[in-house]
Amino acid sequence: MNKLIAFFLIIISFGLFSENKTSHLETIVLGSGCFWGAEKGYESLNGVYDAVSGYSDGFGIRPSYREITKFKNKFNDNNFAEVVEVTFNRQVISLESILQHFYEQHDPTQLNRQGNDIGTQYRSIILYNNDLQREIIDKVTNEFQELLLTAGYGKIQTQIKPLDRFYKAEEYHQDYIKKNPNGYCPDHSTGVVFDKSEIPVIDNTILQEGKYILVIDSEDYCPYCEKFKKDVVNNYQGNIPVIYRTGRELSGLSIKTPTWATPTIVFIEDGIEQFSYQGYMEPELFYKALGKFKLGNTEAYDVAFNKGTDARFCKEYQIFKNTPDGIFVDKLSGAPLFDTRDRFVSRSGWLSFTAPVPNSTYEVPDNSYGMRRTEVKSVSSNIHLG
């Protein structure tokens, strides 16, 4: 005979991680004169994961600050350029936005200089990684050229090339302005800016009260997102809502976990992340996390995942023994488990049924404690039923 119990589950640690994820981190290498101020500018952008000062696009000399600043290399066409390697989460900020910032923060019409910084090391340059980046670069460059011409400026001198290799600059150059707040950081911008249309902000007010399962999805194709939706979300009928957002739609929420991997499943309460999981979650792992989130570390949790046993004639038994006709469901997945029409009085002190709802449970041999028994588990959430 099967007995119905409460459905809870085990504690898991914060920030669990899976290899089954789609990364949305992307890099671009940009040179716009002195890299100190440029690095600081990129780091201020929401969605930029990292900005590293360095050298690129040189040949025949050593990529070091001492070497590229020698007088003999000042007008050497093979000199390395001061550049910044920008790593960004394209779910939060687009390459187009990065490039708009690049053009707005310096004067790309100057050749081999920015203001009083003169020499080939200060050339304006974009070094791309693939053809798709090149298409976006050409689009943004052409748009800015039109804006510059309208404002009375000349032709853009920015070099656009495929990236060969990036060399990280010496450590004292990294975060230079942060270490030296009064350090050299001139403004060479033209004052010409792009006309940026406002992106509507998603209203997350509803997520700031109560519990929600927040799935951070991709704006483009993400195979593991589709698999999670197919294997878990499409079958989920629980009463904690599943809400989808992209990385740029989290306004008003307190999310600690980086959003560059999708899917990222975040369990939030009153708008605040409680814990999360990066990458694809198989159904069993998802329901373990959901159980912790929904009901915590209780006796019922022990029953559901540690094969514990609730007391005979417990409070739940008294509540449910005389319920009207209806269906008992899995408290986590919401899937139907037992029909009250199959209930009978076993006098065991536990709710008992002659049969489950078809295809809702499965049985596992249990030979623990020197006994031969049969364990009944839920198909949907894999929790222990009796």
Please tell me whether residues 268 and 320 are part of one structural domain.
no
Q: Which of 93, 87, 17 is nearest to 52 (CA)?
A: 87
Boundary residue ending a domain (150, 179, 208)? 179
Q: What share of the chain is helix, strand, coil (3-state, %, to 5)?
A: 25, 25, 45
- How far apart CA 326 and CA 83 sit, in angstroms, is 68
What's the mean pLDDT when you consider all of the chain? 81
Predicted local distance difference test score (pLDDT) of residue 208: 93
| CATH code for position 308 | 2.170.150.20
Please tell me whether residues 57 and 165 are part of one structural domain.
yes
Contact 133, 28 (CB under 8 A): yes
Please tell me whether residues 37 and 166 are part of one structural domain.
yes
Please tell me whether residues 49 and 150 are part of one structural domain.
yes
Q: Is the peptide bond before 263 cis (omega within 30 degrees of 0)?
A: yes
Phi, psi of 313 (to 5 degrees): 55, 35
Please tell me whether residues 372 and 253 are part of one structural domain.
no
Q: 139 lies in a domain?
A: yes
Q: Which of 34, 222, 225, 314 is catalytic?
A: 34
| Close Cβ partners of 264 (under 8 Å, ≥ 6 residues apart) | 21, 215, 216, 257, 276, 277, 278, 279
What is the extent of the structural domain holding 47? Answer: 24-179
In the block, tokens 């306004």 appear at: 251
Angle at 83 between CA 81 and CA 84, to 5 degrees: 170
Contact 278, 264 (CB under 8 A): yes
| CATH code for position 259 | 3.40.30.10
Number of structural domains in the chain? 3
Q: 335 lies in a domain?
A: yes
The pair of structure tokens assigned to 131 is: 């053809």
| Bridge partners, residue 363, by sequence | 376
In the block, tokens 């050299």 appear at: 184
Boundary residue ending a domain (250, 280, 310)? 280
Please tell me whether residues 152 and 219 are part of one structural domain.
no
Contact 119, 74 (CB under 8 A): yes
Predicted local distance difference test score (pLDDT) of residue 346: 54
- How far apart CA 112 and CA 386 sit, in angstroms, is 76
- How far apart CA 315 and CA 300 sit, in angstroms, is 12
Is 34 an active-site residue? yes
Contact 280, 262 (CB under 8 A): no
Predicted local distance difference test score (pLDDT) of residue 260: 82
How, if at all, do strands 336-339 and 2-3 pair? unpaired
293 Ramachandran zone, left/alpha/beta (phi>0; psi -120 to 50): alpha
pLDDT digits (tens, 9 = 90+) for 228-262: 989 998 888 888 889 899 888 898 999 999 888 88
The pair of structure tokens assigned to 17 is: 């991680």
Predicted local distance difference test score (pLDDT) of residue 224: 87
Predicted local distance difference test score (pLDDT) of residue 12: 21
The full DSSP string for 50-95 is EEEEEEES--SS--SHHHHTSGGGTT-TTSPEEEEEEEEETTTS-H
- How far apart CA 173 and CA 193 sit, in angstroms, is 28
Residuewise pLDDT in 10s, the chain (386 residues): 344 433 322 222 233 445 566 678 899 999 999 999 899 899 989 889 999 999 999 999 999 999 999 999 999 999 999 999 999 988 888 999 999 999 999 999 999 999 889 999 999 999 999 999 999 999 999 999 999 999 999 999 999 999 999 999 999 899 988 888 766 677 789 999 998 766 667 889 989 999 999 999 887 778 888 889 899 988 888 888 898 998 888 989 999 998 888 899 999 999 999 999 988 999 989 988 888 888 777 766 666 555 555 555 455 544 455 555 556 666 777 777 666 666 655 555 456 665 666 766 666 676 666 667 666 677 666 666 65
Tally of CB atoms within 10 A around 196 = 8
Q: For the chain, state the CA radius of gyration.
A: 30
Which of the 8 DSSP states describes residue 384? B
Contact 12, 267 (CB under 8 A): no
Which of the 8 DSSP states describes residue 111? S
Predicted local distance difference test score (pLDDT) of residue 300: 62
Tally of CB atoms within 10 A around 253 = 18
| Bridge partners, residue 276, by sequence | 266
Please tell me whether residues 61 and 132 are part of one structural domain.
yes
Predicted local distance difference test score (pLDDT) of residue 81: 97
- How far apart CA 162 and CA 29 sit, in angstroms, is 10
Boundary residue ending a domain (235, 255, 280)? 280
